[in-house]
Structure 1
Amino acid sequence: MSFSTNHVDIESVRRGDGHCLQFKFKGRFTEAASIEACQHWNELMEQNPVKHTLIWDCIEMEGFEIAAKNQWSKSLKLNSNHISTVVVISHNPVIRGAARLMLKLFSFDSKVVRSHNQLEESYELVV
C-alpha cells in the first residue's frame, strides 16, 4: 500500500503496459481526508510524471463533503496532464452522479460503473 488512512487507500500499480493509481474510499470522505490524500496523490504524480489510469473504488464510501469534492477537483486539474482515464466504481447513484459531473470538466476518458463485475464485463481499458 502506498498510502493508507481510515478514509482512503492509494496504491500505485502497473497494469499491462500502463501505470495505474487505485484509490479505495472508506466511510465519509471529509475535506481533511481529501487534503491529506491529495497531497500524497500529487507527490506520486510528481515522482512518476507519466499518464496514469485512476481507479476510484467508492464501494465502501458512505458519502462526501462538498469541500472534499472541491479539493479533489483541484488535484484533478493539477494532475490532468498525467491522467489518461478515470474509472469510478460505486453502487451509490449520488456518488456516481457527482463523479460524472466532476469528470465532465476534463478531457480524459472516464467510465462510471456500479460494481467491480460490471467494470470487468464492460470496460477493457483497465487490463
Structure 2
Amino acid sequence: MISLDDYRLVETACPLSYAALSYVWGPAAVFKTIRDNIDMLMQPGGLPVSSFPKSIRDAMVLAKELGFRYIWVDSLCIIQDSAEDKVQQLRMMDCIYSRASLTIVAAAGSHADAG
C-alpha cells in the first residue's frame, strides 16, 4: 500500500479506507517495485513520485484531495521481480479492488503517461 502521508510503501493489514488505481501500462517503461529498491521505497519520502507516469501521479493527487491516506497501485504494491509476490497478489486482486473505497480507472489512454 502507498502511504499518501509520507509517500512510501507500507505493509499494512487492509486499511479501513483506501483508493485503488486501475490503469493502462502500455509499452513504455513504468517505475516498478523490485527486490533491489523495496527497502528504499519503504522509507519516508522514498517514493520518487516525480518519476511516476502521469496516471499514477494524478491518481495519488486525486486520492489525497479526497481525503484518502492510502492508495494501491499494482506496479508499486506488487514486487514485480518476485514470482511468489506476484502470484500471492494476483490471487488477492478481486479482494483488493472490491474492498477499495474508491477505484480510479484511467483506461482512456494507451499508456501510463496519458493521465
What TM-score results when the alignment is normalised by the length of structure 1?
0.31
What TM-score results when the alignment is normalised by the length of structure 2?
0.33
- Work out which structure has the larger RCO, using CA pairs closer than 8 Å and 6 or more positions apart in sequence: 2
Higher strand share: 1
